[in-house]
Amino acid sequence: MRGLLTHHNSQFCTIATIKKQFSTNLQSLKIVITGGPSTGKSSLLKALSRYKVPCFEEISRQVTLEARQHGVSQLFVEDPLHFSQKLLDARIKQYEASLVVENPFVFFDRGIPDVKAYLNFAKTPHPDFFHQAALDLRYDCVFILPLWEEIYTTDSERYESFSQALEIQWHLQSYYNTLGYEPIEVPIGIVEERIAFIKHKLEAAFQLSPF
């Protein structure tokens, strides 16, 4: 408990600092690409990066691989709270890094709310700071990729069955809605079609082209 309380206090110090910086600087528009496992997020972000727009990559695989080096094969399965704390820390650092990006738009492969959504899926009790971080550190637009059974695959880091992926998708949509977001569903299609869809939506919403 002491460790969690220390983490809680340091987390709020970090969030307060970020919010102060946010209020004093002109910020890039923060765009989240979310969705269940194997929905094409990473391929989409990789393609977006070719347009020279800043993209923050998904980091859960890195957390999993680091844990594996210490003998833990699936950290989220074995200790979902510890995994999620590490993930939250890393996503907050990404958010903080985005505050100094000199570009009209910045994209994220998953956002801070995804951490709590996955904890909800796992039915894991967790401290309030997971929700508070998602409330305090906001994004400007959220796109959600639907599950696409034809391309759904699993591997050593992505182990969820398709039925579990459906549950995760529901929790993501539900929690973003709870936070006041209205995620825009990106239609199934090839990567360039999805990029064109996102570009059109952002231009319509912000009167500014992302690339």
What DSSP string describes 121-143? HHT----THHHHHHHHS--SEEE
Higher pLDDT, 112 or 26: 112
% residues pLDDT > 70 (the chain): 77
Question: Tens digit of pLDDT for each residue in 153-200?
Answer: 776 566 778 889 999 999 999 999 999 999 999 999 999 999 999 999
Query: What fold is seen in the domain 48-203?
Result: Rossmann fold (3.40.50)
pLDDT at site 148: 82
Which residues does 99 contact at the CB level (< 8 Å), separation at least 6?
18, 21, 22, 25, 27
pLDDT at site 49: 92
Tell the residue number behind the tokens 């102060």, with chain if given.
20
Assess whether pLDDT exceeds 70 at residue 21.
no
Average pLDDT over residues 122-151: 94
Tell the residue number behind the tokens 């319509």, with chain if given.
204
Higher pLDDT, 24 or 41: 41
pLDDT at site 79: 78
160, 168 in Cβ contact below 8 A? yes
Question: Tens digit of pLDDT for each residue in 64-91?
Answer: 667 566 655 566 666 788 889 989 999 9
Question: Tens digit of pLDDT for each residue in 84-103?
Answer: 998 999 999 999 999 999 99
Assess whether pLDDT exceeds 50 at residue 3.
no
Lowest mean pLDDT among 19-28, 31-40, 43-52, 183-192: 19-28
121, 11 in Cβ contact below 8 A? no
Give the model's confidence band at 116: pLDDT under 50 very low, under 70 low, under 90 confident, else very high.
very high
Query: Hey, where are the domains in the chain?
Result: 48-203
Task: Kindly report the average pLDDT of the chain as a whole number.
Answer: 85
- AA letter at 84: S
